[in-house]
Amino acid sequence: MATAWTLPDHPKLPKGKTVAVVVLDGWGEANPDEYNCIHVAQTPVMDSLKNGAPEKWRLVKAHGTAVGLPSDDDMGNSEVGHNALGAGRIFAQGAKLVDSALASGKIYDGEGFNYIKESFENGTLHLIGLLSDGGVHSRLDQVQLLLKGASERGAKRIRVHILTDGRDVLDGSSIGFVETLENDLSQLREKGIDAQIASGGGRMYVTMDRYENDWGVVKRGWDAQVLGEAPHKFKSAVEAVKTLRAVPDTNDQYLPPFVIVDESGNAVGPIVDGDAVVTFNFRADRMVMLAKALEYADFDKFDRVRVPKIRYAGMLQYDGELLLPKRYLVSPPEIERTSGEYLVKNGVRTFACRQVTHSFYMFIIFVLIHEHRSETVKFGHVTFFWNGNRSGYFDESKEEYVEVPSDSGITFNVKPKMKAVEIAEKARDAILSGKFDQVRVNLPNGDMVGHTGDIEATVVACKAADEAVKIILDAVEQVGGIYLVTADHGNAEDMVKRNKAGKPLLDKSGAIQILTSHTLQPVPVAIGGPGLHPGVKFRSDIETPGLANVAATVMNLHGFEAPADYEPTLIEVADN
């Protein structure tokens, strides 16, 4: 059935207000203590939203089943958080879809697996991805099942190219994951399968860049994985990780690339003609660049030196618009009819097609042009993820996506303010220009600096994000607009691993265990601004709302009712 794109008018809320949608990345709500960097930081603007208008500030769930993850033990993340914010519904996410496909065995019946299987007789099966149980980009138990399943279905020679984590899991945990994998591979070897780890490196330094921020990262991985060349050579991956971690100031996230070599010093697993490759991350953003390098014939981002003729499949298809990669083991969630697409179509499509009278009215009062700003490390969050893992515009004439380049080649604790002011100033200018009805931004500081585990720097980061919010809210004030400030998941509000009672855990040496990852905490949603109808307040009848309830709320703020199958709006309008 054709989609009915026209949204009903909201019975009480007007159209034509400028709406600023601000997503604070990694900004959850937690008990105030010394490891809550948001609490420790001076954040007068966010504090005033919380304390100034209790009926216009509330918490929503940003993790687990509320955002389509397998269980409520799964922390939120940017992909699922922004997907829910933009799509207004909860879709079973990659982690869950891969779980079911493995459990039912359907993964082995699909086109993707049958394609790579053609290489099993004469070639090697290479698995490349993030080795941890973080559940954000990949999960070790899924890799274990895939190894078992592939070997039972004829893979005779297997090479695993690992990326160590320390970002979605504790730093230092990489050794345990490598040992677990080594154990599995040795069991396969006992069954006569030639299975080994072939290369590795830390996720932030090798392979897993995103949004084309730094192709050098992908090249380092390519050299090790495909060419079998790296500055460090070891006989085993456990030895590699232990040795490289012993160097001062290194951590799991930033381990240099290494290859595993045989007795004669030759790399054990370069990728060659006839091999099969699976990138086993289910999350797209940090695998798209490698997918391009593996799949595109025309490629000029770095010199690939040798481009093997391989059969390549992603765990999922990473980009539904680019159809990248062409082959994949599990179909991604079909996140369609996102709020962004609806809103664009209600500004323009109605004008262009049949509903002439209505559309003319719409056109005059609602030329909808979105402006989306963020710096490169988070750029795609308010575009790609927001739009249901889809790159590109819905209607280029009505949308503008602008990117503020990130600093590259540094860890963000060095510059915790990042480009927050630049992002906010661009948003401010867009709001003041009067050309845009929705200005959507992501402020990355709490998250990007939170992931470094540097508490002092994260406090500076939170203050910087708060200052950026002020710049944006001041502009909203000037144009008589509306704001909705929220976050995609927690991070900076809790920087320490805790026991069940909430007490910080200590490591063997008595030091606190720093939490570099996201959290299970809820996030705030605050609305306001001079353009907000005075009767608007948060409903009290939605008991456990989540991020998916935000899309209908934003549609209301633009003067529309949300589609019936969207999660309900958070707001109601009292007659006064």
Ligand X SMILES: O=C(O)[C@H](O)COP(=O)(O)O
User: Among 37, 15, 3, which residue's Cα sits nearest to residue 555?
Assistant: 15
Exposure class string for 224-249: b at 16+ Cβ within 10 A, else e: bbbbbbbebbbeebbebbeebbeeee
Q: Which of residues 470-499 bind ligand X (CB under 6 A)?
A: none
- Is 575 known as a binding-site position? no
**Minimum CB distance to ligand X, residue 130 (Å):** 8
- Is 285 known as a binding-site position? yes
What kind and span of H or E run contains 200?
strand 194-202
- Is 157 known as a binding-site position? no
- Closest CB to ligand X among residues 254, 342: 254
- Is 426 known as a binding-site position? no
Q: Which of residues 323-382 bind ligand X (CB under 6 A)?
A: none
- Closest CB to ligand X among residues 25, 184: 25
- Closest CB to ligand X among residues 80, 527: 80
Among 99, 168, 371, 399, interactor with ligand X by CB under 6 A? 168
209 scored as a contact of ligand X (CB under 6 A): no
The CA dihedral of 549, 571, 374, 282, to the nearest 10 degrees, is 0
What kind and span of H or E run contains 455?
helix 455-479
Q: Give CA–CA dist 115/535, Å, rounded.
A: 58
Among 6, 36, 43, 78, interactor with Mn ion by CB under 5 A? 78
CA 47 to chain centre: 27
Neighbours of 117 (CB within 10 A): 18
User: Among 522, 564, 563, which residue's Cα sits nearest to residue 545?
Assistant: 522
Q: Give CA–CA dist 204/411, Å, rounded.
A: 9
Q: Helix and strand tally (H, E) in the chain?
A: 17, 17
With CB atoms as reference, the residue minimizing the distance to ligand X is 78
Count CA atoms within 13 Å of residue 348 on its CB side. 16
What kind and span of H or E run contains 194?
strand 194-202
466 scored as a contact of ligand X (CB under 6 A): no
Q: What is the DSSP letter of 452?
A: T
488 scored as a contact of Mn ion (CB under 5 A): yes
Q: Give CA–CA dist 555/183, Å, rounded.
A: 52
- Closest CB to Mn ion among residues 10, 372: 372
- Site for Mn ion (CB under 5 A): how many residues? 4
Per-residue HEC secondary structure of 227-268 comes to CCCCCEEECCHHHHHHHHHCCCCCCHHHCCCEEEECCCCCEC
Among 167, 220, 245, 428, interactor with ligand X by CB under 6 A? 167
**Minimum CB distance to Mn ion, residue 399 (Å):** 22
Among ligand X, Mn ion, none, residue 286 binds (CB under 5-8 Å by kind)? ligand X
- Is 78 known as a binding-site position? yes
User: Among 167, 49, 18, which residue's Cα sits nearest to residue 524?
Assistant: 49
Neighbours of 192 (CB within 10 A): 9
- Is 437 known as a binding-site position? no
Which amino acid, residue 141? D
CB of 474 closer than 8 Å to CB of 428: yes
**Minimum CB distance to ligand X, residue 168 (Å):** 5
**Minimum CB distance to ligand X, residue 246 (Å):** 25
375 scored as a contact of Mn ion (CB under 5 A): no
- Is 447 known as a binding-site position? yes
**Minimum CB distance to Mn ion, residue 515 (Å):** 12
Q: What is the DSSP letter of 61?
A: B
Among Mn ion, ligand X, none, residue 168 binds (CB under 5-8 Å by kind)? ligand X
Binding mask 68-87 for ligand X (x = CB under 6 A): ---------xxx--------
79 scored as a contact of Mn ion (CB under 5 A): no
Among ligand X, Mn ion, none, residue 437 binds (CB under 5-8 Å by kind)? none
Among 171, 209, 214, 447, interactor with ligand X by CB under 6 A? 447
104 as an active site residue: the answer is no
- Closest CB to ligand X among residues 286, 417: 286
**Minimum CB distance to Mn ion, residue 27 (Å):** 9
The active-site residue, picked from 71, 78, 236, 433, is 78
What would you report as the CA-atom Rg of the chain, rounded to the nearest whole angstrom? 24
**Minimum CB distance to ligand X, residue 27 (Å):** 11
- Site for ligand X (CB under 6 A): how many residues? 12
25 scored as a contact of Mn ion (CB under 5 A): yes
Residue 96 Cα distances to 279, 335, 395, 452, 489, angstroms: 17, 15, 32, 28, 18
The full DSSP string for 125-182 is EEEEEEESS-SSS--HHHHHHHHHHHHHTT--EEEEEEEE-SSSS-TTTHHHHHHHHH
Per-residue HEC secondary structure of 493-530 comes to CCCECECCCCCECECCCCCECECCCCCCCCEEEEEECC
Among 75, 125, 136, 418, interactor with ligand X by CB under 6 A? 136
- Closest CB to ligand X among residues 130, 195: 130
- Is 518 known as a binding-site position? yes
Task: Round to the nearest angstrom and report the end-to-end CA distance of the chain.
Answer: 41
447 scored as a contact of Mn ion (CB under 5 A): yes
- Is 214 known as a binding-site position? no
Binding residue positions for Mn(2+): 25, 78, 447, 451, 488-489, 518
Binding residue positions: 25, 78, 137, 167-168, 203, 210, 283-286, 378, 447, 451, 488-489, 518
Binding residue positions for substrate: 137, 167-168, 203, 210, 283-286, 378
The catalytic site residues sit at 78
Binding site residues, ligand X, CB under 6 A: 25-26, 77-79, 136-137, 167-168, 286, 447, 451
Binding site residues, Mn ion, CB under 5 A: 25, 78, 447, 488
